[in-house]
Amino acid sequence: MFKIALAQINTTVGDFSGNGDLILDYLTRAKRAKAQLVVFPELAVCGYPPEDLLLKSHFIDNNLKLISSLAKRVYGIIAVVGFVDADSKGKIYNAAAIIEEGSIKTVYRKNELPNYGVFDEKRYFSQGNFETNNGLITVEGRKIGVSVCEDIWVDVSAHTKQAKGGAKVLINISSSPYEVDKLKKRQELLIRRAEETKTTIVYCNLVGGQDELVFDGASMVVNAQGRVLSRAKQFEEELLICDLDTTENPVAQVLEDSEEVYRALVIGTRDYVQKNGFSKVALGLSGGIDSALVAAIAVDALGTENVTAISMPSRFNAKATRQDARTIVKNLGIEFKEIPIKAIHNVYLKVLREYFKGLPPNIAEENIQARIRGDILMAFSNKFGWLVLTTGNKSEMAVGYCTLYGDMSGGFAPLKDIFKTKVYELARWRNSQAKGPLIPKSVFLRAPTAELKFNQTDEESLGAYEQLDKVLAAYVQGHQSISAIAKEPEQVSYVKKTINLIDKNEYKRRQAPPGIKITARAFGRDWRLPITNKYKE
């Protein structure tokens, strides 16, 4: 019997006291389960990613104090805990403390620092030196190597050296953000590494939301033959106990694609709202598919009693849309307010009439409607302390089919990284899970429209979403060129027009609320395009 406990916990950035309590709680439970070793995620002590908090020396000190005081509480079990190490020259390291009998026995410092995508680790950390800190320990006669996250993604690094040094078990502590297909990639990698090094790999991942990132958990143990011995659930805290000497350990099932993304959105929304001290949210419910899905996510994240939907019809909103909004609200059982904006819109138009005299109505008048809605939602936010969820999706954010300070007003954007085609897919999946009716069929059937003028439809302006989303994925996620995207000559002008829209709407994205990353390239920390940009292929 050799039991390892993988403490898949949901830490909070900067919450030393909360994270410390959480670590002690899981430590106690691991001991109670008679584990010889308990493993916590990367930077468990301070939360991940702490970003520029790492530039504050008092933050580093607080983290060092916590790891020291935690160490004093560890007896009868060995704990591997992620923290920020510091040397006498003030350099800091993304590190793992290996704690035994009341003291830190040794420290491993991450060798490979990711500095791409959402990661800026070279901004903060120095590289660990394997010669001086090799992460090798011996527990009950078994040689074990400890490494941190990125290390194991690199073909030759700490893990290969540890295996060469005789390690039979490789522990990797990680805070690996969720993306579609990431778990598959991660598991394939771990299987490959286990086979390459002929070791058992113990991989402990973080779980929970932090700003735009969601960590999906799914911590796992893979044996030297590449078999998954044990796996924790996705998107939930769990203390996974795996006895390396048996084949009877819990193996959570991997979620089906739509459910996986949906659950990422739910935990990402819940953690953003609650970790920021809110309990209730409001959203504008139009009767369209986007806001219907956001309402469902909000309910699943926070409970019906914590979600208020506000419908704000204008002169351009069809009766059918308004009716759908009421049906969705009834089906979800949430609070609902219907506040027509016509009166306010009229006063704006009256006040502006003399200045806009002789000019045809254009986007100016249209956007005022979206901005009135944003202002009303924010008034409720300011009055009742609710956080406003925006309902825009990634397709809109990409081409700027949204109003800055209008429907973009709000604290968090659950669908920010969800293409319109995926919105439908998720809504269908969510409907399939509901006990009764949820999002009415008419919402799926109606042509998407912003309803800011008469008979407007999205697809008239943007092309069919099926086609649009393909171009967006190739350009945004793939950084592909026009010639690579437009396979046929007749597609060139559409692709060019779309790319032009994406480029020129960078200024809107710069002022957009954060939202949950689920793709390889979201419009967040992993998208750093200049606004001032004259580049044309």
Is residue 363 close enough to count as binding a second copy by CB under 8 A? yes
Peptide bond into 530 cis (omega under 30): no
In the chain, the amino acid numbered 111 is N
CB 80 within 8 A of CB 96: yes
Residues 35-94 that bind a second copy (CB under 8 A): 49-53, 55-59, 62
Is residue 491 close enough to count as binding a second copy by CB under 8 A? no
β-bridge pairing 169-174 and 142-148: parallel
Determine the distance from the C-alpha atom of residue 108 to the mean position of all C-alpha atoms in its chain, rounded to a whole number: 28
Stretch that binds a second copy, among 22-30, 80-88, 336-344, 414-422 (CB under 8 A): 336-344
Residue from 24, 378, 501, 520 binding a second copy (CB under 8 A): 378
Distance, CA of 471 to CA of 252 (rounded, Å)? 36
Residue from 89, 350, 353, 435 binding a second copy (CB under 8 A): 350
Q: What number of other Cβ atoms are within 10 A of residue 386's Cβ?
A: 22
- Which tokens hold the place of 25? 């709680």
Which CB atom, from 76 or from 530, has the smaller least distance to a second copy?
530
Stretch that binds a second copy, among 2-10, 154-162, 325-333, 525-533 (CB under 8 A): 525-533
Is residue 374 close enough to count as binding a second copy by CB under 8 A? yes
Q: Which residues pair with 100 in a beta bridge?
A: 78, 103
Which CB atom, from 454 or from 535, has the smaller least distance to a second copy?
535
Kindly determine how many residues on this chain lie close enough to bind a second copy according to the rule CB under 8 A.
Answer: 82
Residues 126-145 that bind a second copy (CB under 8 A): none
Whose CA is closest to 344, among 382, 318, 370, 324?
370
Which CB atom, from 63 or from 133, has the smaller least distance to a second copy?
63
Residue from 3, 371, 420, 517 binding a second copy (CB under 8 A): 371
β-bridge pairing 307-311 and 281-284: parallel
Distances (CA, A) of 37 to 78, 219, 236: 5, 15, 21
Residues 6-45 that bind a second copy (CB under 8 A): 12-16, 18
Residues 381-420 that bind a second copy (CB under 8 A): 382-383, 404-405, 409, 411
Residues 186-215 that bind a second copy (CB under 8 A): 209-211
Which CB atom, from 85 or from 121, has the smaller least distance to a second copy?
121
Distance, CA of 211 to CA of 13 (rounded, Å)? 10
Determine the distance from the C-alpha atom of residue 413 to the mean position of all C-alpha atoms in its chain, rounded to a whole number: 11
Residues 210-269 that bind a second copy (CB under 8 A): 210-211
DSSP at 254 = P
Query: Hey, which residues are catalytic here?
Result: 42, 110, 149
Residues 268-327 that bind a second copy (CB under 8 A): 271-272, 275-276
